[in-house]
Amino acid sequence: MNVNYKELAKKYGTPYYVYDFDSIKVNYHAIKDAFKARKSLVCYAVKANSNLSVIKTLANEGSGADCVSIGEVKRALKAGVPNYKIIFSGVGKSDEEIKQALELDILMINVESEAELFRVEIQAKELDKKARISIRVNPNIDPKTHPYISTGLHENKFGVDIDTAKRMYIKAKNSDFLDPVGIHFHIGSQLTELNPIKESSVIVADLVRTLKVIGVEIKFFDIGGGLGIQYKDETLIDPNEYVQAILETLFGLDVTVVCEPGRYIVGNTGEFVTKVLYEKNNGGKRFVVVDGAMNDLIRPSLYNAYHKIEVLNKMDKEKLNCNVVGPICESGDFFAKNIELPMTEHDDLMVIYSAGAYGFTMSSNYNTRNKVCELALENSSVRVIRKRDTFEDQIANEVEFLN
């Protein structure tokens, strides 16, 4: 990224995340523009990076928000996303969350089971409202991605099968408190093959045509998110081919296409910057110990995910095999294993690329480590969009000791 990493480290400390807001806007428009004249709504998947400034930047470009908790719905509203562009998804919503979503009058609640439909109806009845809902269909298609981020097979916990969906739509149509306006599928994340998405869309579009015959008019056709990005050498789905493939399955249907990209919009726009503490050797194995850790960026530990790593100002030096590890008391605390890096010195800076999605949002205070600060590059200047935690922030709710 076109920033002075060293200066930022001096000013704000390490580790830190830095995001390129100009690229975030470019990525949003790459998808939005692919729909051209077609009625469409891009709802950014807030869980990928839920910093208010990130959401606000996208809201200003016209983006909606796909949320998976009432907390995310509140973030979206606070950041300026209008309620009629907010979708609430997720496999388990509490009564309180459903109630608040209805009161906030968002675009639709995305229902993931018959039992949940029943709870939504009860809550809507209590508020004397008609709940706009969509139903998440599980098309039982293998998305060919990592099993932890695959969601479109019956063996995954997400959505309902076609027959159950049909039953639910009929129930919703006959209810005074439910308005079935949408249909939804999302088969996985970091997808690099178009075919599974297309096959899913064929199945779900067929269901929409069947529903039409029995008097259920679907207005929103929600194709989920999942578009992959380049971490290493992945082949990518072209947004235009993606949209074209979806539209081809929608013949005879007058629907607004909704999509929910998360990683695609922010993944490659963020970097995690950490400082080298020391090098050590354990029986011939070289370790580079840095000040960032799995609590800051858990993807390598959780998914064995690859992130490109560079040592600043040293990449022309000879490279040797090593593991890059953090200070946390877990063997799983690593950013990379068996990669080639130049020999480092105390205080060298290391950049971990493609960390804009599922980076900070998955971070924790494990080992009583402060969550790091987040910076934004926009129009050639850098600003703080989240301050680093302090020790006091971390203990603030431990009331017994504070009173």
Ligand X SMILES: *Cc1c(COP(=O)(O)O)cnc(C)c1O
Sequence-distant (6+) residues with CB within 8 A of 283 are none
Interaction of residue 145 with ligand X, rule CB under 6 A: no
Reduced to 3 states, what is the DSSP secondary structure of residue 194?
Answer: helix
Amino acid type, 243: V
User: What residues have CB less than 8 Å from 7, skipping those under 6 apart?
Assistant: none
Q: Site for ligand X (CB under 6 A): which residue of 112, 260, 271, 374?
A: 260
Does residue 89 touch ligand X according to CB under 6 A?
yes
**Which CB sits closer to ligand X, 68 or 328?**
68
Which among 43, 67, 322, 329 is annotated as catalytic? 329
């529903």: which residue's tokens?
211
Q: Does 15 bind ligand X (CB under 6 A)?
A: no
Q: Which residue has the tokens 């969009």?
A: 385
* Cβ contact 50:75 at 8 Å: yes
Residue 77 touches ligand X, criterion: CB under 6 A: no
> Which residues inside 347-366 make contact with ligand X, applying CB under 6 A?
357
329 carries an active-site annotation: yes
Binder of ligand X out of 17, 264, 335, 353 (CB under 6 A): 264
* Under 8 Å between Cβ of 349 and 273: yes
What is the identity of the amino acid at 330? Answer: E
Binders of ligand X among 201-230, rule CB under 6 A?
224-227
**Closest separation between CB of residue 136 and ligand X, Å?**
7
Q: How far is the CB of 248 from ligand X (least distance, A)?
A: 21
Residue 66 as a binder of ligand X (CB under 6 A): the answer is yes
Q: Which amino acid is at 360?
A: F
**Shortest reach from residue 36's CB to ligand X, in Å:** 21
Distance (Å, whole) CA 299 – CA 307: 9
By CB under 6 A, residue 196 contacts ligand X: no
Residue that is written with structure tokens 């608040």 in the block: 100
Name the residue nearer to ligand X (CB basis): 182 or 225: 225
Report which residue type is found at 195.
N
> What positions carry a catalytic annotation?
329
Task: Provide the binding-site residues for ligand X, judged by CB under 6 A.
Answer: 45, 47-48, 66, 68, 89, 186, 189, 224-227, 260-264, 357
